A and B are shown apart, each in its own frame.
Chain A
Amino acid sequence: MRKIHVQNITDAVKDAVMNANFELNEDILKALRDAKEKEVSALGRDILMKFIENAAIAKKEKIPLCQDTGLVVMFVEMGQDVMLVGGDFYTALEEGVRQGYREGFLRKSVCHPFTRKNTGDNTPVIIHLDVVPGNDLKIWVMPKGGGSENMSRLFMLSPSAGWDGVKERIVQAIVDAGPNPCPPTILGVGIGGNFEQCAILSKRALLRPLGTSNPDPEIDSMEQELLEAVNKIGVGPQGLGGSTTSLAAHILMMPCHIASLPVALNIQCHSSRHVRIDF
């Protein structure tokens, strides 16, 4: 058994939400720089340059990359030999968010669905917990903006639709979304599982660093095919035309019910923010 005090978790989450919002990860910056070289539209290239400039200002001045500092999603992998001490785990995670959003001057973007009354501290947090072998604790902290989340879609397709049907739905969703989710986007695609599992897969797929290949060569080629199809639409940076509609398409796939073909598309804006905490 390895003991981890929950106070350490709160402290790490507090730093993580601030860092995620002030600093774009190098893989995203590289993808933006590479896209700027390849983009066919002059205005598109200028917009991509503005994103790189925006990231530099945010990092230097400790001002959020985007005013939408997100609803916080966490993927937690907890080793089964970890023993948490000093308090409640979920409370510790939320306390980290509460402190980070206050001390980092991040926007509190969470409210009651109908009264729209703000909760005031950016909680609650969406937590996905997996128990794994070993004594490590890994927490991915992912503040996710509302604009790209609103354009995300879930389809319960008929098995006859096949990969072509999946591709068609996703491409159509990107056409429909147009400029709304702040392109260039990153596409997280979950295929299989069931109604809720494919949605979780689609979000988890966004955590894979850009520029890395899918470990499954067959799925890797599906990702390439999808990205190519999406970038042919012409939405471009900010929907003002061009060849960079998405920076990457990441797919996670698992078996599903014999009657179903569940597909979820989680769209991530170019301000893709996540930080991994390792204990």
Chain B
Amino acid sequence: MKEIPVDGQGTVNPAMPGSDYKFQVEKGMEKTVYHLKTPLSQDDVEPLRAGDMVTISGKIYTARDTAHKRLVSLLDKNQNIPIPLKGQVFYYAGPSPAAPGKVIGAVGPTTSYRMDPYAPRLLELGLKGMIGKGKRSKEVVDAMVKYKGIYMAAIGGAGALLARSVKGVRIVAYEDLGPEAIRELVVEKFPAIIINDTVGNDLYADSQNRSS
């Protein structure tokens, strides 16, 4: 398995220690795993292709339906938003509460299409990555090509497993929304797979065509 670390400058960075996660692939088939470090630059995301395995380390932001609605309504009024956008990665997730002694509860992805109405606007303003599960609209796929962003899937329904990649969490906005508040997660080698890349490929469509 070939591993290519990537950081915000598009240059090689030592791989993060402490994670034993690996995607298993066909015997004899070499599959590259890209280790991404946030924030991401255009140079970081452009070489990535649908089907590539990645891990993400650094800060990412959870945001779901209502948080997106609030962010975009602030942008519509030309007001500042409470989190950075440029080069950032949004994780469509609403974690379960942390039990005592734990960093976080279960933290798998939610279905992404519900954020489709808001995503092109955020990509235009510099958002580089989105993590979720499920298909995106044509508008979002086109916006990823135009503004150079990527969409990644995490394993849906593996919230207990994915929690192991989360090393820190704090609420940064909209605490009143409870599970839907925006949280800054510090992640280490959070595993994902590229679904949509910057040239318009779609892994879901490709996978289904191959299998049916």
Contacts and interface: CB of A to CB of B under 8 A. Distances in A.
Interface stretch (B78-86, B108-116, B140-148): B108-116
A195 to B, nearest CB: 26
Dominant secondary structure of chain A at its interface with chain B: loop
A106 B111 contact: no
A239 interface: yes
A243 B207 CA distance: 11
Given A57-B164, A66-B108, A109-B179, A182 B133 contact: yes
Contacts of B210: 234, 241
Interface stretch (B5-13, B94-102, B119-127): B94-102
13 contacts: A54-B158, A67-B159, A105-B99, A108-B178, A116-B66, A116-B180, A180-B135, A181-B111, A182-B156, A182-B157, A234-B209, A236-B211, A240-B193
Interface in A90-118: 105-109, 116, 118
Interface residues of B, number: 48
A55 B153 CA distance: 20
Contacts of A234: 207-212
B163 to A, nearest CB: 6
A42 interface: yes
A180 B96 contact: no
A50 interface: yes
Interface residues of A, number: 54
Contacts of B133: 147, 179-180, 182, 238
A107 B94 contact: yes
Nearest to A119: B178
Given A41-B211, A67-B94, A67-B159, A178 B135 contact: yes
A172 interface: no
Contact of A179 (B65, B96, B153, B159): B153
A103 to B, nearest CB: 10
A71 interface: no
B25 A42 contact: yes
B134 A232 contact: no
A107 B95 contact: yes
A53 B163 CA distance: 13
A178 B134 contact: yes
Given A105-B98, A105-B99, A232 B111 contact: no
B212 A179 contact: no
B118 interface: no
Contacts of B159: 54, 63-68
A67 B105 contact: yes
Interface of B: 23-26, 65-66, 93-99, 102, 105-108, 110-111, 113, 133-135, 153, 155-161, 163-164, 177-180, 193, 203-204, 206-212
A120 B95 CA distance: 15
Contacts of B209: 234
Given A105-B105, A239-B207, A240-B193, A64 B212 contact: no
A191 B134 CA distance: 28
Nearest to B25: A42
A178 B208 contact: yes
Identify the interface centre among A43, A61, A236, A242: most chain B CB within 10 Å of its CB: A43
B197 to A, nearest CB: 15
Contact of B211 (A61, A120, A242): A242
Contacts of B65: 116
Given A64-B105, A179-B133, A233 B208 contact: yes
Contacts of B155: 47, 50-51, 54, 238
A79 to B, nearest CB: 35
Given A54-B158, A69-B106, A239-B207, 8 more contacts: A41-B207, A55-B160, A65-B157, A105-B98, A107-B106, A147-B111, A238-B133, A241-B208
B24 A46 contact: yes
Contacts of B66: 116
Nearest to A104: B99
B178 A120 contact: yes
Nearest to A183: B156
B207 to A, nearest CB: 3
A41 to B, nearest CB: 7
Given A50-B158, A58-B160, A107-B95, A240 B106 contact: no
Nearest to B21: A50
A57 B161 contact: yes
